[in-house]
């Protein structure tokens, strides 16, 4: 009986740890790792790469009018000088990064 309880507690601890690790792979973490170098820490495209490629800031009206689905498509398939992240990031990572970026404009 005690062995069964210990096993269940250990299993619960593993699942809890897995959810914490999953949380660490948040949209913010993905954005910082893959997007920030061009789009900037605040989404204002104020980095050297962002300026040289004329990346529009998150506050630009053309960017603000894009839907979440539009931004996910651009991130997945690439556009202009922006690389495609299909096969490099999961759908959840792309959605999380897009959600984080969109939040910077609010």
Query: Which CATH number characterizes residue 82's domain?
Result: 1.10.760.10
pLDDT value, residue 1 = 56
Residue 82, beta-bridge partner list: 79
Burial 13-24 (b: 16+ CB within 10 A, else e): eeeeeeeeeeee
The residue with tokens 């005690």 is 2
Q: 77 lies in which domain range? A: 26-104
Q: What pLDDT is attached to residue 106? A: 81
Predicted local distance difference test score (pLDDT) of residue 105: 84
Cα angle at 58 between 89 and 20, to 5 degrees?
A: 40
Long-range contacts of 16-22 (CB under 8 A, 24+ apart): none
Q: Which residue has the higher pLDDT, 48 or 9?
A: 48
Tens of pLDDT, residues 13-66: 565 555 444 544 699 999 999 999 999 999 999 999 999 999 999 999 999 999
- Confidence class for position 9, pLDDT limits 50, 70, 90: low
Mind listing the pLDDT tens digit for each residue in 70-86?
Answer: 999 999 999 999 999 99
Q: Is residue 7 part of a domain?
A: no
Instruction: Confirm if 35 and 97 have CB atoms less than 8 A apart.
Output: yes
Residue 1 lies in a domain: no
Residue 88 domain-assigned? Answer: yes
Query: pLDDT: is 71 or 8 the higher one?
Result: 71
What is the domain count for the chain?
1
Half-sphere exposure of 70 toward its Cβ, with a 13 Å CA cutoff? 7
| Residue at 63 is within a domain | yes
């Amino acid at each position: 009986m005690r062995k069964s309880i210990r096993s269940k507690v250990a299993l619960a601890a593993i699942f809890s740890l897995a959810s914490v690790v999953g949380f660490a792979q948040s949209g913010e973490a993905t954005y910082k790792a893959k997007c920030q170098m061009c789009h900037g820490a605040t989404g204002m495209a104020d980095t050297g790469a962002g300026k040289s490629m004329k990346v529009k800031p998150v506050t630009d009206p053309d960017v603000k009018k894009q839907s979440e689905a539009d931004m996910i498509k651009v991130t997945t398939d690439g556009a202009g000088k922006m690389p495609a992240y299909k096969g490099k990031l999961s759908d959840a990572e792309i959605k999380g990064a897009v959600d984080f970026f969109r939040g910077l404009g609010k």
